[in-house]
Amino acid sequence: MVAGAGAVGLAVARALRLGLGPVPGRGTSRRGPRDVLVLEARARPGAGVSSRSSEVVHAGLYYAPGSLKARTCVEGARRLWQFCAERGVRARKLGKLVVAPGRAAWDAPPRAPARASAPPPSAPSGRLEALAANARLCGASGLELLTAARARELEPALGRARGSAGGALLSRDSGIFDSHAFVEALAADVEGQGSSLSFSSSSSCSPASPSSSSSPAAASPPLGGGMIVSRAALVGGDLSRAGADGRLELLVRTAAGGGAGGGGPETVRVRADALVVAAGLGTARLLHGDLVEADAVVPGLRGWPSPEGLPPRAAFAYAKGNYFALPPSRGPSPFSRLLYPLPDPSGAGLGIHATLDLSGRTRFGPDVEWLGERETRELNGEGRSDGERGGGGGGGAGGGGSEIFGPEPGDVDPSRAALFDAAIRSYWPGLPGAGALRPEYAGVRPKLLPFSRRGSGGEGGAVGEAAAAALSPPSSSSDFFVAGARTHGARGVAVVAGIESPGLTASLALADEIVAALLEE
């Protein structure tokens, strides 16, 4: 079973169903196809974090060399380009410029250096060179450091940036893709010729080893097949394999009842050989067992033989990213490539950048707006009464009461336009005057603050603003978290957390890592 039908959950479900996923050096071998059941709390697959990105295929410039982010970004991008080409998912390798600020450099007319050994007047800044060196160590290819003059030849709209240096790093292998079509293609591979049975219709669920008469329904995917069930959330379970058949016993909350009249939400039990938790913004609640109803038939996800090594609740923090755009009436895009400033030194974001979509429109963002304490506590499942637990107590898909079933915080505060205006002008002085930018949409990054993998224990409070301070140098921002039994002790259970950017790019490669974690003894 896979909990969460975002890009990551679907990529691992696809790998399991197709029997993919050997990881060189991890001692795993090629396996046969498996039956897969994917649960999605929202009304359809891919409606979570995966639906709110910049749709950029990252080349792997920013991450700590050797980290999971770096490795899966570089390998994931290679596979993603190939997947898009083979499956007809629209994608364009249009390239990207990371520009260093520098009024003097950008304003200076291009001229030849006086001596061959002298640096050119608009040489790339030290930070750009460091970024290029880091990118090469990560395994990124297609890189070139450009003088400011050369960058302006490529993108004439650049200019008059503030600061003291200048220049740009060109990444030819960065680009854009249709992330929605990608997720649909993954879902199609998971379901294949299989079924799209719905948990909300008891007649279409085939009971699989019902474990007690109190279980209203159970489901199994067709043999050798895959099934994605929407409006159904993992809300608890026993990971100790205590049952007679030694399988995991999991609790699933459906939005609508199984009766003919629809009914309210109900909880069903499902037995599974293995579990992948890839629940995006819902992961902290699952790991800390907060979705369990007081009267649950089996204990909630308290069955971790050893919780050590899992991220403590206080490590989960959330940074909203807002986007603004120019209305089409403001003319064509000023750029033909992706345009990024140097990354935010805090490591929290890549800086307010300009991306193009596949129709050629430019949008700006995302910025970094840390969610406050209340929202963080809610996402982490803290301070909820028993009545609120178990997937929303009547919230239903899109209904109130449960953020698990409900929409993500997607509104953009129009007053943030001033912040965007200033950031964009640092590389695009031609930005039209005040009021030109229109709020677009927002997404929330599930971040993990650095934590100790052993004996982390502490259940401290929410972080909010404190998170920003804790995430100081870029090198200290956490890696993607993928853990199997060697970390948490539950055999056949893989946990994925902190899948912020470049999670879409990395998803096909992350799937291999997750399969390897599932196989850990």
Ligand X SMILES: Cc1cc2nc3c(=O)[nH]c(=O)nc-3n(C[C@H](O)[C@H](O)[C@H](O)COP(=O)(O)OP(=O)(O)OC[C@H]3O[C@@H](n4cnc5c(N)ncnc54)[C@H](O)[C@@H]3O)c2cc1C
Whole-angstrom Cα distance, residue 281 to residue 356?
Answer: 26
Span 192-251, contacts to ligand X by CB under 6 A:
233-234
Whole-angstrom Cα distance, residue 265 to residue 404?
Answer: 13
DSSP per-residue string spanning 375-430: HHHHHTTTT--GGGHHHHTT--TT-TT-TTTS-------GGGHHHHHHHHHTT-TT
- Which helix or strand (DSSP H or E) is residue 81 part of? helix 68-87
Structure tokens at 96: 């990207």
Residue among 3, 7, 454 nearest 248 (CA): 3
Identify which range of 55-63, 90-98, 165-173, 469-477 contacts ligand X by CB under 6 A. 55-63
Closer to ligand X by CB, 59 or 143: give it. 59
Identify which range of 206-214, 307-315, 415-423, 503-511 contacts ligand X by CB under 6 A. 503-511
Identify which range of 85-93, 155-163, 428-436, 440-448 contacts ligand X by CB under 6 A. 440-448
Closer to ligand X by CB, 132 or 504: give it. 504
Structure tokens at 232: 């159904």
- Does 369 bind ligand X (CB under 6 A)? Our answer is no
- Does 362 bind ligand X (CB under 6 A)? Our answer is no
Residue among 374, 376, 373, 405 nearest 390 (CA): 405
| Of the candidate residues 1, 14, 17, 53, the single one contacting ligand X (CB under 6 A) | 53
Residue among 481, 5, 480, 512 nearest 234 (CA): 5
| Of the candidate residues 1, 5, 145, 437, the single one contacting ligand X (CB under 6 A) | 5
- Does 444 bind ligand X (CB under 6 A)? Our answer is yes
Closer to ligand X by CB, 221 or 321: give it. 321
Site string for ligand X, 301-330 (x = CB under 6 A): --------------------x---------
| CA pseudo-torsion sign 374, 419, 500, 334 | positive
- Does 59 bind ligand X (CB under 6 A)? Our answer is no
As measured in angstroms, the least distance from the Cβ of 224 to ligand X is 23
- Does 300 bind ligand X (CB under 6 A)? Our answer is no
As measured in angstroms, the least distance from the Cβ of 308 to ligand X is 23
| Of the candidate residues 41, 128, 168, 462, the single one contacting ligand X (CB under 6 A) | 41
Identify which range of 101-109, 163-171, 499-507, 511-519 contacts ligand X by CB under 6 A. 499-507
Whole-angstrom Cα distance, residue 128 to residue 140?
Answer: 15
Whole-angstrom Cα distance, residue 180 to residue 280?
Answer: 17
Look up tokens 């960058």; give the residue: 151
Identify which range of 46-54, 145-153, 190-198, 296-304 contacts ligand X by CB under 6 A. 46-54
Q: What residues form DSSP beta bridges with 442?
A: 322
Positions touching ligand X (CB under 6 A) are 3-9, 39-42, 47-50, 52-56, 58, 233-234, 278-282, 286, 321, 366, 404, 443-445, 499-505
